[in-house]
Structure 1
């Protein structure tokens, strides 16, 4: 039987109380990680495939977004515009989306605890010499 908890909080100055099931919260977070992971992974892989198909006409670039998404008068407009068309920025975007999506998907299936990644990271010298890093690992 699922455990039901009661949450009492305040939203916009009004007290709110509601019951929730820990069982379904876990499933919801699992599903959210899978959906968001797949969305990012698919976006990154699609960009990588179009970039790596050796046809320069198909190459994806972040230039259109960097040049047109920043509103006029923004003090960083020149900074974002200077990155437009830079191949390094395009590669960072493609690989960042792909690897972030993959990490979310693997993390949803317990890569940290089940596959032993957390144990490996906790044994690293940098984590041993900086105990506060253990809080990041859970």
Structure 2
């Protein structure tokens, strides 16, 4: 099935056809790839336990744009919290994307993490690889997954959207994809 998209972009009328079946397959592929990427990253941290994020939230990272936020997590209980929540978060984001459950919520938190990775990795490395990096592309992919509702395509979110509970609480639809 094909849909004709009509909109205004920068003051110009824009129209283009969109093949919905190709978009659906693309969303599933992207959701699975990014889900595996984050699940794998989180599981790797658990396998090499204990994970220590002090290299990321302290030292040179304190001099970055996000430094004032990061130094709050550089020692004590907040560092311990970070050491647990980064791998747990990555595993939950990965699982959420792979099964398509709470996809928008998972993509939001994935994008949230990617903002930190993008600025800290870029600024501490002096943007040696340029400003367009894998971290920025990951951020954009998470935004695409959240925006296009990727969890409704072969995911648990399609089932959740039809439940009476979600129908009775329409604000929950913001969390599912």
Q: TM-score, normalised by structure 2?
A: 0.55
Which of 146, 156, 163 is the aligned partner of 1:111? 156
Q: Map of 1:40-59 to 2, 5 A cutoff?
A: 40-51=38-49, 59=50
Q: Note the C-alpha offset of 1:117.
A: 9.4
CA distance in 1, matches of 2:25, 2:99: 15
Alignment partner of 1:8: what SS?
A: strand
Question: Is 1:15 aligned to 2:8, yes or no?
Answer: no
Q: Note the C-alpha offset of 1:134.
A: 4.7
Bigger-Rg structure (1/2):
1
Larger relative helix fraction: 2
Aligned residues: 120
Q: TM-score, normalised by structure 1?
A: 0.69
Q: Map of 1:21-40 to 2, 5 A cutoff?
A: 21-40=19-38
CA distance in 2, matches of 1:96, 1:45: 11
RMSD: 3.0
Gaps of 5+ in 1: 52-58
What residue number does 1:89 align with?
82
CA distance in 1, matches of 2:10, 2:158: 38
Gaps of 5+ in 2: 101-150
